[in-house]
Amino acid sequence: MSNYSSMRVISIFALHVLVVLCEYTNLPEVPQGVFNASTRVEIHSTTTAAVWNALTNFPGYADWNPFVRAAIVVSPLNLTLPEQYPVEGKRLFLRTQIPPLPLPVNKDTPDNLLNTQFAYERITHVQPDLGRLAWEYATDTLIQAERWQAVSDLGNGVVLYESREVFNGLLASVLQKTLGESLQKGFDDQGRGLKLFLERGA
């Protein structure tokens, strides 16, 4: 092999390593927290619009999401608002299952009352052009957490869905010890639930 072609092989190899190390993501860069829960799943035979619609259609969450069983946009006094889609600055009431319900779920799947938790969130970012959505935990001051979701087109009918919630605050390490694994399972399974729901409809 000439010097030139061996250099070429090495540089192609280096490029490949670089691409693998810097995995593509549409999640924004955020500071590291105490811990985080995340998911990343490729959904086939779908469109970014279909994934975005599923994520922003709050009344439809129970049809596919084993972790967030209800997401309701509420007023500061907790009254249900007429518009049930994400709007920056609005409050969001969540009824969750930690750990998540077994898959698959639909709107009639009953909660496991032992695993039911309530949370109030504030919707922080709604960015349809970027395919990004975020809300932050606003239930108490001992834990701070912001959850991002991102949708991006990988081509050939494949859409990447990603989500990550970064936890901070005085009680974050206690939360990690008690519920960290269950929260991670909730993220894994809501990615799997979304994939099941959208690929079934394909």
Ligand X SMILES: *[C@@H]1O[C@H](CO)[C@@H](O)[C@H](O)[C@H]1NC(C)=O
- Here the tokens at position 51 are 């994934």
Which one of 7-15, 32-40, 48-56, 168-176 is the stretch in contact with ligand X (CB under 6 A)? Answer: 32-40
Residue of 40, 56, 60, 72 that binds ligand X (CB under 6 A)? 72
**Burial readout 43-81 (b: 16 or more C-beta within 10 A, e: otherwise):** beebebebbbebbbebebbbbbbbbbbebbbeeeeeeee
Q: How far apart are CA 143 and CA 150, in angstroms?
A: 23
| Binding residue for ligand X, selected from 50, 74, 143, 179, defined by CB under 6 A | 74
Compare residues 41 and 72 and give the one whose CB is closer to ligand X. Answer: 72
Residue 119 in contact with ligand X, rule: CB under 6 A: no
Site for ligand X in 81-110 (CB under 6 A): 93
Contact status, residue 135 vs residue 124, Cβ threshold 8 Å: yes
Task: Provide the minimum distance between the beta carbon of 167 and ligand X in the complex, in angstroms, as a whole number.
Answer: 9
For residue 151, give the nearest of 22, 6, 66, 24 by alpha carbon: 24
127: left (phi over 0), alpha (psi -120 to 50) or beta: beta
**Which residue, 117, 120, 69, 68, is CA-closest to 92?**
120
* 143 contacts ligand X (rule: CB under 6 A): no
Q: Are 173 and 202 in contact (CB under 8 A)?
A: no
In the 8-state DSSP scheme, what is residue 134? E
Interface with ligand X (CB under 6 A), residue total: 10
- Residue 78 in the binding site for ligand X (CB under 6 A): yes
- Part of the chain binding ligand X (CB under 6 A), chosen from 4-12, 25-33, 124-132, 155-163: 25-33
The span of 43-51, 71-79, 139-147, 182-190 binding ligand X (CB under 6 A) equals 71-79
166 sits near ligand X (criterion: CB under 6 A) = yes
Regarding 111 and contact with ligand X (CB under 6 A), the answer is: no
> Which residues contact ligand X by CB under 6 A?
30, 32-33, 36, 72, 74, 78, 80, 93, 166
